[in-house]
Chain A
């Protein structure tokens, strides 16, 4: 388990979004990806059940959080992901 790399209380949803975008680019190995709230597996061909786990694990490590079991499978789009991270990191 890693500590949260970001302890700054002033960071905002925008910074989460920025960090999240970088995670998507890395996980899907595509620097051109620009995320948006409604973005889901439908918009991203490589976003399947296996890469979903890779994505969730990357988010956990990057933000220093652990998702609950129910949340791992329940996240359907980028907006939900960002909201959840914001709630968990208290940003």
Chain B
């Protein structure tokens, strides 16, 4: 944090606190509360948290519309300052908490003693605020797995023993911290690498704790508070301030107080049924780049450029486009776990819905959307309408809009609606929405599950991955038996598991929708670019009309997503030779046998043109060393050139390879180099598709040969 922004932030906060005090003095308690809430974020340091907690403590709550909550914190550390901040953050989540703090370091006595003040207080929620210090795992270096298991089971039993008395006597919700795994251990890396390591043990403990809590009866009454994850999110290096552990038994840094209190408040609110239910999203510049009404779906389609480029979405639209897809994917996952998803956009309905129906990179579809509102009314009006339509409260809604003016209008007119502050970079949208922890839940209902196939698909993926891993792990723990054969089998199995589908599109006069993006890729590629050639869009248009030229572009998708248009090849025939004039490829798909897939297509094109030989050239540049050996790898022979200087790495090289016909194999071709150097030159694999003929092994399957 720079001092300047830090100081202006403090000045801003002071101004808001002063307004809050004035509102308090004037008896306008809701305004005072709103000002306090806007003055602070969970990430703010302890001074600000303490200040706001103090102002909140002096605020009468009757007119704030909060739901009362009696909760107890039982801890072997000091939580008084934390409880002050927690009261405030619970209020922002809709709860007015009365908090009983059990005497310090008496957790077990407090819970087991039926006459303790805890039971007299009759809390509806008990937070067992434990830390790693409470999980006593006596594991010696080198302990065997059985001893480890016994020790962890015992620790889990010690923790879970405290749940039943609370559940039996109080009919309450129990929140149980897991272990915040410490940053430092005398064994260093080994603490998390060895089977007997301290971190390994605590990780197992945390996993077992989650399983035990989920299995506890009555169900859903014990909720694990993932303190370890919070510590990681906050930063383990600054999570603990040892001075205040030794001085006064504060278990975590004061600067994490707001962070932990906010996370806890959101979870507790969820346990009390107060978490958000509905996500309302703007469209233009929120889930895609640009304005659909102005930019259109694809922009320049075929003919002359109209200036518009189309909305930015998907890998083909650059980094921004990918970020919007990722944000959509995050929303889709929220929807899949049961969050209602609605759209609220200033647009004509037809324009607004077009991408959902037609754009190939949309992750969200019309049937994902509970209410779709696109009109020119104000956002607050539309949000009210959505709330009525869905029969939910405004306080169950989160509204996401890239436009600060719209956000401000909603905040002012509908203070119940949560409106996250969005950055102006779509790459940060997920984080901006996630830090609010609006959609916490303590359980997953059958309803949630029925609404979605998300978890089921995930589970299926997991099963396949496990099967794939197990098939390679037959040697048990002894990994020293790994052979290179195993490794190449592993690689092949991995590539197959990606379920890659390559698409080949031939660009010509009739099918040139991909031409602008092909030109873009040619002109922005540096690393995987064999010749460094550049073609403008117009030049490319001329080129695709030439009989001797063929221009192909390639798309690749796999089970995890679409990589978009990732490669362009320009071929030029001269007599019986087919020359690779240009070959560019996106580096993100390297190592996927896409090169082999592309070569096979080139070979097929050569067969189609009755060529005998394929030639290529590598022209070194400052950035394309990556592909200096590409042709060699693909079974090409170097062609000696008269002008070549010996051992000059900057010298361009020429390559050639005989065309493989479907009936021939590389072994039979006279120009082929030594087989042992080229592992990809294997006998033909059985074909899953009749064309193009596969003469190099690839794990990319094909669907389309051309658009025709």
Contact = CB atoms under 8 A, between A and B. Distances in A.
Nearest to B55: A29
Interface in B241-296: 242-244, 246-248, 250, 254
B136 interface: no
B50 A54 contact: yes
Contacts of B46: 54, 57, 61
Contacts of B50: 54, 57
Query: Lowest 7 CB-CB distances: which A-B pairs, in order?
Result: A69-B243, A72-B247, A69-B246, A61-B47, A50-B80, A73-B247, A54-B50
Interface string A1-21: 011010000000000000000
Nearest to A64: B3
B254 A57 contact: yes
A67 to B, nearest CB: 8
Interface string B1-21: 101001100000000000000
B243 A68 contact: yes
Contacts of B516: none
B242 A69 contact: yes
B45 A61 contact: yes
A53 B3 contact: no
Contact residues of B: prevailing secondary structure:
helix
Contacts, number: 41
Contacts of A54: 46, 50, 81
Contacts of A26: 51
A29 B58 CA distance: 11
Interface of B: 1, 3, 6-7, 45-47, 50-51, 54, 80-81, 242-244, 246-248, 250, 254
A58 interface: yes
B243 A50 contact: no
Contacts of A57: 46-47, 50, 254
A16 B392 CA distance: 55
Interface residues of A, number: 18
B3 A50 contact: no
Interface in A41-58: 49-50, 53-54, 57-58
Contacts of B247: 53, 69, 72-73
Given A5-B3, A50-B81, A54-B81, A72 B244 contact: yes
Nearest to A74: B247
Contacts of B248: 49, 53, 72-73
14 contacts: A2-B1, A3-B3, A26-B51, A29-B54, A49-B248, A50-B80, A57-B47, A57-B254, A58-B47, A69-B242, A69-B243, A69-B246, A72-B243, A72-B244
B244 A53 contact: yes
Nearest to A73: B247
A53 B80 CA distance: 11
A64 to B, nearest CB: 10
Nearest to B242: A69
Contacts of B243: 66-69, 72
A4 to B, nearest CB: 9
A50 B81 CA distance: 8
A61 B45 CA distance: 9
Contacts of A5: 3, 7
A67 B248 CA distance: 14
Contacts of B54: 29
Contacts of B6: 2
B244 A2 contact: no
Nearest to B247: A72
Contacts of A67: 243
B21 to A, nearest CB: 10
Contacts of A58: 47
Interface string A70-86: 00110000000000000
A57 B45 CA distance: 10
A29 B57 CA distance: 12
Contacts of B80: 50
Contacts of B244: 53, 72
Contacts of B1: 2
Nearest to B58: A29
B81 A53 contact: yes
A67 B7 CA distance: 22
A72 B244 CA distance: 9
Nearest to B7: A5
A52 B247 CA distance: 12
A30 B80 CA distance: 21
A11 B46 CA distance: 27
A59 to B, nearest CB: 10
Nearest to A50: B80
A68 B313 CA distance: 54
Nearest to A26: B51
A54 B47 CA distance: 8
Contacts of A49: 248
Contacts of B3: 2-3, 5
Nearest to B245: A69
A72 B243 CA distance: 8
Find the residue from B7, B46, B242 having the highest chain A CB count within 10 A: B46
A37 to B, nearest CB: 24
A54 B263 CA distance: 22
Contacts of A50: 80-81
A42 B435 CA distance: 43
B704 to A, nearest CB: 58
A53 B244 CA distance: 9
Nearest to A61: B47
B84 to A, nearest CB: 9
B3 to A, nearest CB: 6
Given A53-B254, A57-B46, A68-B243, 9 more contacts: A2-B6, A50-B81, A53-B248, A53-B250, A57-B50, A58-B47, A61-B47, A69-B243, A73-B248
Contacts of A72: 243-244, 247-248
B457 to A, nearest CB: 45
